Amino acid sequence: MGYDLKEFYDGLVQHGLIVPVGVPGAFGRGALFEEVLERFNALVSELSRTDGAESYTFPPVISRAVLERVKYLESFPHLCGAVYSFFGDEERAKTLAARAGAGEPWAEFLGMTDVVMNPAACYPVYPSFTGTLPEGGRLVSMLNWVYRHEPSPEPTRMQSFRVREFVRAGSAAQVLEWRDSWLQRGLTLLGSLGLAAKSEVAADPFFGRGGKLLAVNQKEQQLKFEIVVPVISAADPTAVCSFNYHQEHFSSAFDIRTADGDRARTACLGFGLERVVMALFKAHGFDPAAWPPEVRRRLWP
Amino acid sequence: MGYDLKEFYDGLVQHGLIVPVGVPGAFGRGALFEEVLERFNALVSELSRTDGAESYTFPPVISRAVLERVKYLESFPHLCGAVYSFFGDEERAKTLAARAGAGEPWAEFLGMTDVVMNPAACYPVYPSFTGTLPEGGRLVSMLNWVYRHEPSPEPTRMQSFRVREFVRAGSAAQVLEWRDSWLQRGLTLLGSLGLAAKSEVAADPFFGRGGKLLAVNQKEQQLKFEIVVPVISAADPTAVCSFNYHQEHFSSAFDIRTADGDRARTACLGFGLERVVMALFKAHGFDPAAWPPEVRRRLWP
């Protein structure tokens, strides 16, 4: 396979791995796609088995107040997804239904609810850390659906996808040591699956001209790393795992303190599960039965 | 335990089974809650192992066009969730962020996207049936997150939850025979887990006064059944599994035909997975280690 994004997308569809749904980045996943995803996720669980992480699952929507509190809209307004619903009476409902039925705009009929799409797998957990952490800090594992408003025909750029996430809260030393050890773990894991994985310093996709400065600052301070693998381009490989050191961003917003009373630090890492699966299909072909024996042994031990 | 919804909610929280997040019906799920959910889901898979169902996973958002096409807003405008995002320039983004940061309304700054929350696990699959079905029809299994805008302190009434769903498309006889066999399967399965399950004719929560007529009609035609189990009330048990016969509703909207050229019929059934898990905790207590041996043997064979 060359690096043609349409050819790769069409291949995924033709092999029943994904199912188009009429909007970009929200396709269905077939049974084999899901099996590979679950197998990879199980390898991540196995790697972290003795780390003592607490495990949670959060819904794809979170409290709107969390987005407001962490100032998400200052940095990523273009990626947000807020859930709107109908609060009107029967007359207004009739007009709404008539409009929608006639293919006319109906945006004005809905109002904002108290929930928004979860934009990052780790967001719902920080409010639950409010207060004083135990001596060794906290470590939490999650598998959540996240949403980003970036419709694209590029298969790895999804509006809705799953992230296997870990969050560490504690002192700066605890958090950074943990992040560095996982950077190595991630590279080793992905390499063992025959993926040409490498790590690099990265920046978040901040909005607008002002965002460019934020990105430069983030890179200078080395606050974000990504593990990248070629999927739709050799020159511009795709991030399949992302590591963020938040310093005091979330601990300030939610008043999280270490056992000795200092402001805590937090970091997170997340494997983009669909992207890892796509990287595997890209590297080894659309038929897992024909994947290299060492890769098959890792995923189907 | 008596039937006190606050006591039940607080018990779920105190035992780490759910984690409050500041908005009703969007709580996190703890590891043990998830384990019971996965074990129950595995029993459903085992029951249907030889049925030959195709299996898909769809994201929590679907194309807005599907909602419009099936006229969802005529019946359930109050339950819908549409995803809005920001389409403005940097000036407008600054005002938006300032508003949100100051706790002031910011609804007017967002516009409607092409995706909406998936309101029923089966919705994304119908468009993929367009055309002529194979001789025996089709059978699809899914596990999807669904959204309903009905914030409530009642733990079984969630805004966001998972449904293990099956969809059958074919002739009326094929579809109804399938539905009836699953009604019996569902009762037997839930009964084997020590739940006081019974089936009843039911109606969807249609909006407004006009909706009351639709509900009466739906009941008279016996288009909807539910399996109910007492969870937060003995007198008003909770639906944990729902069976809907759609007649030609979806096959008309998406032009689905049987092999001999007739308009197809469709039916679906879905287990509300969180509700089944809550029913188990309600019936047998918050500690699965102390559940009746025959229930434990079913879930942890």
Contact yes or no for B167/B125 (Cβ under 8 A): yes
Q: Residue B2: its pLDDT value, please?
A: 79
Question: What is the value of pTM for the model shown?
Answer: 0.97
Give yes or no for residue A181 having a pLDDT over 80: yes
Res. A83: pLDDT tops 80? yes
Partner-chain contact B82 A79, CB within 8 Å: no
Quote the CA–CA distance of A129 and B222 in Å, as a whole number.
49
CA A62 to chain centre: 15
Number of other CB atoms surrounding residue B10 within 10 Å: 12
Q: Picking from A77-81, A115-119, B166-170, B208-212, which range would have the lowest pLDDT averaged per residue?
A: B208-212
Question: What is the spatial distance between Cα B189 and Cα B28, in angstroms, rounded to a whole number?
Answer: 27
Percent of chain A's residues with pLDDT above 70 = 100
The dihedral over CA atoms of B96, A126, B20, A161, expressed in degrees to the nearest 10, equals 70
- For the stretch B192-228, pLDDT in tens is 999 999 999 999 999 999 899 999 999 999 999 999 9
Mean pLDDT of A221-241: 96
Q: How confident is the model at residue B290 (pLDDT cuts 50, 70, 90)?
A: very high
For A38-51, what is each residue's pLDDT tens digit?
Answer: 999 999 999 999 99
Nearest CA in chain A to B55: A31
d(CA B202, CA B216): 9
- Assigned token pair, B9: 């909610």
pLDDT surpasses 90 at B96: yes
Supply A274's token pair.
Answer: 């669909």
Q: Are B271 and B241 in contact (CB under 8 A)?
A: yes
- Confidence (pLDDT) at A3: 85
Q: Contacts of residue A64 in chain B, CB cutoff 8 Å?
A: 23
Asked whether residue B1 carries a pLDDT value surpassing 70, the answer given is no
Is the Cβ of A208 closer than 8 Å to some Cβ of chain B?
Answer: yes
Q: Do A28 and B90 touch (CB under 8 A)?
A: no
pLDDT at B100 over 70: yes
User: Can you give the length of chain A in residues?
Assistant: 301
Q: Do B85 and A84 touch (CB under 8 A)?
A: no
For all residues of chain B together, what is the average pLDDT?
A: 97
From residue B117, alpha-carbon distances to A164, A165, B161 in Å are 22, 23, 12
Q: Residues B220-249: pLDDT tens digits?
A: 999 999 999 999 999 999 999 999 999 999
ipTM of this complex: 0.97
Scanning every residue of chain A, which has its alpha carbon at the shortest distance from the alpha carbon of B75? A97
Longest Cα separation, chain B? 64
Nearest CA-CA distance, residue B227 and chain A, Å: 24
Q: Do B73 and A64 touch (CB under 8 A)?
A: no
- Per-residue pLDDT band for B3 (boundaries 50, 70, 90) equals confident
Both structure tokens of B203: 């109606």
Report the C-alpha gap between A264 and A135 in whole angstroms: 11
Q: How far apart (Å, rounded) are the C-alpha atoms in residues B180 and B141?
A: 17
